[in-house]
Structure 1
């Protein structure tokens, strides 16, 4: 049996608001709710289970998502349209810009709970054999 990430819990000030922000930005859907969790399932089956916790208990984490070009285009348009602060680099480099690392595009921004989000179209180091899926 191979080892895969199945789910992770994402602390939020408001689990529904954070799940809706994430799902709407990336064209996904809320797929389940149980107990304190509101889940969004990614295309590889991993779920992000958003849980409301006191704001003082939220330690900002970094979540990076490899997305297709068309998803990046749509998400970035929403980021700009909504006036969400964003930058090309992880430490605030290139405010209001995207990067073109490894021949792709990437952007950094924060979600409603203050987590550091990253969208990228090409994995770090580029695609093995030069193209997606090869």
Structure 2
């Protein structure tokens, strides 16, 4: 019998689970299986970006790196992505929308990579 103020002795004899018990899925009480999988999908969406997002980020980074030089050379665009410069520009603006790119980056990209097929005037054109 314990009295108020005296702690109970801790149970120090714990049983080690077997390998089968370790591999058994954990129980989720009060959650239906479809809710559990939806929850995992939401968590995984925030953990690692999808392949499409990573490729979009790579496209934006490459384009932004080449802004001071008048844009990505056609050879590099073809070697990296296997597409033409026009396709690269279209994909770039899709990537900007998909990743919610910051305004300063969009402002830097706009004169070099024009949207809707309009040709921007570059330093070499003047």
Q: State the TM-score bracket (shorter-chain normalisation).
A: under 0.3
Q: When you count strand as a share of all residues, which structure comes out higher?
A: 1
Q: When you count helix as a share of all residues, which structure comes out higher?
A: 2
TM-score normalized with structure 1 length: 0.25
Larger radius of gyration: 2
TM-score normalized with structure 2 length: 0.26
